Amino acid sequence: MLPTEKLRRADIFSGTIISLFGLWVISQALKMPMKDSWGGVQNVWFVSPALFPLFVGGVIVLLGIGLVVHAIKIVGIAGVKDTFAWLNSQDLLLFLKSDAMMRFHAIVLLLFSFVFLNVPRIDFFIGSVLFLSAFITMFYLDDATLLVKMLRVYLAGTIVLLLWFVLGISAALDPHLPYSSDWLALIFLSAYCGFVFRLTRGDLLLCKKYKTGMTLAFAAPFTIGPVFKYFLLVPMPTEGLIVVVMDAIRYWDF
């Protein structure tokens, strides 16, 4: 465990980040309507959907500020100067490259790519399998060296998908190749799984873990998803290539 003084210095940095995140939540909540008119009835401000995220964002800001103030009381102004000096030193780069931070980078990349890139644009089943495949293999294999290699491959694929959507390639190809984004995601998934298989095939234990992880990655979405889709009648966030095939099988539409 780190000494108390080092922990408090870290709190200065983390508290600042937390406060900035709270401000971002507030800025997004302010985009929501505070009052509006529906069918001639004027809704008052205290039923606005913006109130809850405004409250949460405000609490996050206060907690972040409180964390910073508490840390400054313990370490003093000298501690604050040491913290900023550390942020401008080579020690920060070494810390960012540490095994613990690489795991943190992997979690952030996986979650952000899944929630903000894949879910709104790629068939939910493909996106879910891609996310679970990467998440399980990166952490279940429990090898820092392999994690870095897998993270690089996943990052490269994510950048390709991002450029694919930003440049509007999917919109241009869809009239000629329906669900082109889903096909690209399938290629990404196949390339990632093939790469991880090559990393693990020389080790019996890692190979066994890989097979277990892949089984779970594919089984979970295709077990839970159809229940929501066809029995609870809950539509998937994005329905594309796989959902079309499943609909055809479910309703025998051939």
Per-residue CA distances from 77 to 12, 62, 80 (Å)? 11, 21, 5
pLDDT at position 9 is: 65
Question: Are 86 and 15 part of one and the same domain?
Answer: yes
Question: Are 53 and 121 part of one and the same domain?
Answer: no
The residue among 26, 58, 91 that closes a domain is: 91
The answer, yes or no, to whether residue 35 has pLDDT greater than 70, is no
Provide the whole-model pTM: 0.75
Question: Are 139 and 64 part of one and the same domain?
Answer: no
The residue among 50, 68, 91 that closes a domain is: 91
pLDDT per position as a tens digit, 37-72:
554 545 555 556 677 788 888 999 999 898 888 888
Q: Residue 103 is part of which domain span?
A: 99-250
**pLDDT band, very low/low/confident/very high, at 1 (cuts 50, 70, 90):** very low
Exposed e or buried b for every residue in 210-221, given b needs 16+ CB within 10 A? beebbeebbeeb
The answer, yes or no, to whether residue 254 has pLDDT greater than 60, is no
End-to-end CA distance of the chain: 62
Burial of 197 (0-12, 13-18, 19+ CB in 10 A): middle
Question: Are 135 and 76 part of one and the same domain?
Answer: no
CA 177, CA 180: separation in Å to the nearest integer? Answer: 6
User: Between 58 and 36, whose confidence is greater?
Assistant: 58
C-beta separation of 84 from 17 below 8 A: no
Question: Are 235 and 215 part of one and the same domain?
Answer: yes
CA 142 to chain CA centroid, Å, is 20
Average pLDDT of span 229-254: 85
Question: Are 140 and 243 part of one and the same domain?
Answer: yes
- 3-state SS, residue 216: helix
For the chain, how many structural domains are there in total?
A: 2
C-beta separation of 151 from 138 below 8 A: yes
Average pLDDT of span 100-113: 88
Question: Are 66 and 191 part of one and the same domain?
Answer: no
Question: Are 157 and 66 part of one and the same domain?
Answer: no
User: Between 74 and 105, whose confidence is greater?
Assistant: 105
Highest mean pLDDT among 16-20, 72-76, 187-191: 187-191
pLDDT per position as a tens digit, 187-214:
999 999 999 999 999 889 999 999 999 9
The residue among 57, 91, 125 that closes a domain is: 91
The answer, yes or no, to whether residue 163 has pLDDT greater than 80, is yes
Question: Are 173 and 233 part of one and the same domain?
Answer: yes
Question: Are 71 and 190 part of one and the same domain?
Answer: no
Question: Are 79 and 106 part of one and the same domain?
Answer: no
Question: Are 81 and 135 part of one and the same domain?
Answer: no
The answer, yes or no, to whether residue 2 has pLDDT greater than 50, is no
Cβ neighbours, 10 Å, residue 64: 21
